Amino acid sequence: MAFSLDKLLVIGISSRALFDLEAEEAIFRQSGLESYRQHQLDNENNVLKPGAGFALVRALLKLNELTPENRLVEVVIMSRNSSETSLRIFNSISHYGLDITRAALSGGAPLAPYLEAFNVSLFLSLHEDDVQAAINSGVASALLYQMPDNAMEDLGQIRIAFDGDAVIFSDESERIFQEQGIEAFEQHERENAMKPLPEGPFARLLVALSFLQNNFKSEDGRAFPLRTALVTARSSPAHERVIRTLRAWNIAIDETFFMGGVAKSAVLAAFKPHMFFDDQHGHCIKAASFVQTGRVPIKQ
């Protein structure tokens, strides 16, 4: 019987997001494909250092240890490498003991067409074109920033933080703010307080995480080791619609912060997420010094 990915949380991650391949990327850009190929062949037994998405992937894979008879998470390497240059990646996966057995190696071709084939729930990459294409195809995706110094800290719990508008929710309300200003935005949210916000690119991922939290049962009574946070620039009176939307979706986020324009960095540093997802480059740059951050592009 074929193995099905339909009921799993599937994370697609590029090799450059999982491991630190910045030196190799520089070789490719400066000297071309053949120099890159030879470098990878010459160093295929040299273990790569962890990259920007490593900590989140390692933490999520640990969930499978809680239910060994019923896997919860699958990770797929989705790389523009060819099979010939990928052995170093697989050797590094083995070195760190990561339970990753599947890969899509496109040999330079775009990766977005293969996301649906692997039922990917979240795609992480440092290649902006692939991230944009994934978002355009309806898959939650983020462009990762370089990891901060504390990214590998073992928290004993998975922590993920989300911005609201254009991430969990659609960018409908944010467009009003950007085009018409704060007063028009607040008036719009007051008038639509009882109307749930449309789904954003990460809505289905949040629903899947909430389902795991609510339906996890361990033999020893342990709680599900995942904590989520919403860190949004919204404040009163725009808070009500957010609360009612999450209620309508039957989602309870563990921690919620209505920042009202205050910088998110200090709250994120206190929450210590494995990953923070935001749509604005300015917010991401500030956050990236404190926590691992991924930027969610607007669907085009």
- Hey, what amino acid is at 229? A
Terminal Cα-to-Cα distance of the chain (whole angstroms): 39
Q: Decide: helix, strand or coil at residue 140.
A: strand
Asked if 64 and 71 touch (Cβ cutoff 8 Å), the reply is: yes
Q: What does the alpha-carbon distance between residue 208 and residue 105 come to, in Å, rounded to a whole number? A: 27
> Among all residues, which ones are annotated catalytic?
163
Contact criterion met (CB below 8 Å) for 19 and 92? yes
- Whether 261 contacts 246, CB under 8 Å: no
Rounded Cα gap, residues 242 and 239, in angstroms: 5
In our burial notation (b when 16+ CB lie closer than 10 A, e otherwise), range 125-136 reads: bbbeebbbbbbe
Give how far the C-alpha of residue 268 lies from the chain's centroid of Cα atoms, to the nearest Å.
Answer: 16
Radius of gyration for the chain, computed over Cα atoms and rounded to the nearest angstrom:
20
